[in-house]
Amino acid sequence: MNVGVIGAGWAGLSAAIALHDAGHDVSLYEAGPLAGGRARRVPGSGNAALDNGQHIMLGAYQHTLQLMQRLHREPDRLLLRFGLKLQAASGDFELRCRALPSPWHAVAAVALAKGWHTSEKAALIKAMARLRLRGWKVTPDRPLAQWLDEQHQPAGVVKRFWEPLCLAALNTPLVQASTLMMARVLKDSLDAGRNASDVLIPRTDLSDLWPDHLPAGITLHRHSPIQRIDAASNGYTLNEKHWHDALVVAVPPPNARRLLADLPARPGTERLMQHLEAFSPVAIATLNLMLDEPWTTLSEPMLMLDDQAAPGQLGQWLFNHAVISNARERHPLISIVLSNCLSSALTDRDAASRLIIEQVRRQTSQFGPMPDIAQQLLIIEKRATFAATPGLTRPDNNTPWPGLVLAGDWTNTGYPAVLEGAVMSGQAAARCIG
Ligand SMILES: Cc1cc2nc3c(=O)[nH]c(=O)nc-3n(C[C@H](O)[C@H](O)[C@H](O)COP(=O)(O)OP(=O)(O)OC[C@H]3O[C@@H](n4cnc5c(N)ncnc54)[C@H](O)[C@@H]3O)c2cc1C
């Protein structure tokens, strides 16, 4: 078949590769200048390429890792891998998975964590054990803050474990976050083999990681926004000129809604449109600081920051690319991540950046002074993820229109908006086409 894929994010790209491998002719249409979608290199950032936002992956991202292998993009070379370690920059907290079989690696991590009282460790182990006993299911789903209250989680455990992990994985505050989606992430990372909880950080830019390395047979049309889909005999026409037997629509929900609105209504259309409207976007900002020299005295790739230490100190995670990169010359870049950030807090970009830099300097003082800053760039992605809330109905890949399927991190994967979900959804969409 001749299949069109709209959107070259990780979902559309993985759909295109799976369809190509199944023997179809595939054309990909991407509105922007390069492949990767929300997980891409910032065009024009040159040799010291910057991404649209700092990303991490987990050992549990099996579909993504297999896809990289399929494209001969070796995960061992292109990703820095280390056992899960939550280490506060200030030095007052550390939790590290141990070299034991799952789930004991995680139990030992909590039992031996530095910075918690025994009662705090016991409360966390008890809550996790209860969740595991119930098959990592919570019915009915409810806001994580409510569930944590029910489980009598102490404030120190919420601050050092639940809140940072919930923001990192769901990009949704505790009071709104779905306990079920959080449980799914915990199940697949902490209860699925010791390596599943490993942290994987790209050592190259996100487009080079694999999206730039599509099989030769796939045609990628860059700068090609699709404005219109028309049902044609035995297929669909895009922008009134490209005809395809089948389509994968792999664009964010509002864009999908606009495109599907032109098609003749069929049973189920109204419901699908309502579900597409129900997603609310949540922002993530990344402050990139290019330093005069690599920060070698900071020997950790990733540290937790305290974002409640003082007003405006919004940084949650610090990434040191001098440790992450495997380039011969160590990359003198640090990236600070601000999940679930309100754009109102960043209206004055310079003032916001100043406060965050001050926060980093103060909270990392145990590592010695940060080298001088040569350049800085604050990237705010307003539509980074959808709010992962209880009761959100996520559409399946199949639609009311034959041969037209959906893909995207927002489809019914069970995961929050993450790379692995995007890849899984693309592959599931390809299977629907056959
Ligand atoms: C700053 C930031 C940090 C993140 N951190 C993490 C992380 O640490 N770990 C993690 O797993 N996930 C993270 N995520 C989430 C992850 O990036 C997304 O889940 C994933 O990239 C979504 O891929 P997608 O293909 O579903 O959607 P998208 O990447 O949004 O792809 C959709 C594509 O469709 C294109 N498009 C839209 N409309 C049209 C049209 N009409 N015609 C043609 N093309 C169109 C868009 O240009 C885009 O390229 C982060 C996201 C951001 C923004």
Dmax (CA) for the chain in angstroms is 68
Over the stretch 405-423, which tens digit does the pLDDT of each residue have? 999 999 999 999 999 999 9
Residue 79 lies in a domain: no
Of residues 424 and 327, which shows the higher confidence score?
424
For the cut 70, the answer to whether the pLDDT of residue 46 exceeds it is: no
CATH code, 238: 3.50.50.60
Residue 61 lies in a domain: no
Q: Which residues of 323-352 are buried (b: 16+ CB within 10 A; e: fewer)?
A: bbbeeeebbbbbbbbbbbbeeeebeeeeeb
pLDDT of residue 147: 98
Percentage above 70 pLDDT, the chain: 98
pLDDT of residue 327: 67
Whether 185 and 89 share a structural domain: yes
Average pLDDT, the chain: 94
Count the neighbouring beta carbons within 10 Å of the beta carbon of residue 34. 17
When mean pLDDT is compared across 53-67, 95-109, 317-331, 350-364, the lowest value belongs to 317-331
User: What is the Cβ-side half-sphere exposure of residue 96, based on CA atoms within 13 angstroms?
Assistant: 11
Whether 98 and 129 share a structural domain: yes
For the cut 70, the answer to whether the pLDDT of residue 110 exceeds it is: yes
pLDDT of residue 44: 64
pLDDT of residue 346: 86
Which of 197, 230, 260 delimits the end of a domain? Answer: 197
Whether 6 and 108 share a structural domain: no
Helix (H, G, I), strand (E, B) or coil at 167: helix
Whether 230 and 364 share a structural domain: no
For the cut 70, the answer to whether the pLDDT of residue 351 exceeds it is: yes
253 Cα to the center of ligand 1, angstroms = 11
Strands (E), 217-331: 219-221, 229-232, 235-238, 242-244, 246-249, 281-291, 302-304, 317-320
Domain region containing 250? 2-47+206-279+389-433
133 Cα to the center of ligand 1, angstroms = 34
For the cut 90, the answer to whether the pLDDT of residue 47 exceeds it is: no
Using most ligand atoms within 8 A of CB, pick from 6, 55, 65, 324 the residue to mutate for ligand 1.
Answer: 55
Q: Which residues of 199-208 are buried (b: 16+ CB within 10 A; e: fewer)?
A: bbbbbbbbbb
* Cα separation, 264 vs 10, whole angstroms: 29
Tally of domains in the chain: 3
Over the stretch 14-29, which tens digit does the pLDDT of each residue have? 999 999 999 999 999 9
Over the stretch 241-269, which tens digit does the pLDDT of each residue have? 999 999 999 999 999 999 999 899 999 99
* Cα separation, 363 vs 88, whole angstroms: 9
For the cut 80, the answer to whether the pLDDT of residue 326 exceeds it is: no
10 Cα to the center of ligand 1, angstroms = 7
* One-character DSSP codes across 11-47: HHHHHHHHHHHTT-EEEEE-SSSSTBTTSSBPTT--S
Residue 182 lies in a domain: yes
Residue closest by Cα to atom 7 of ligand 1: 55
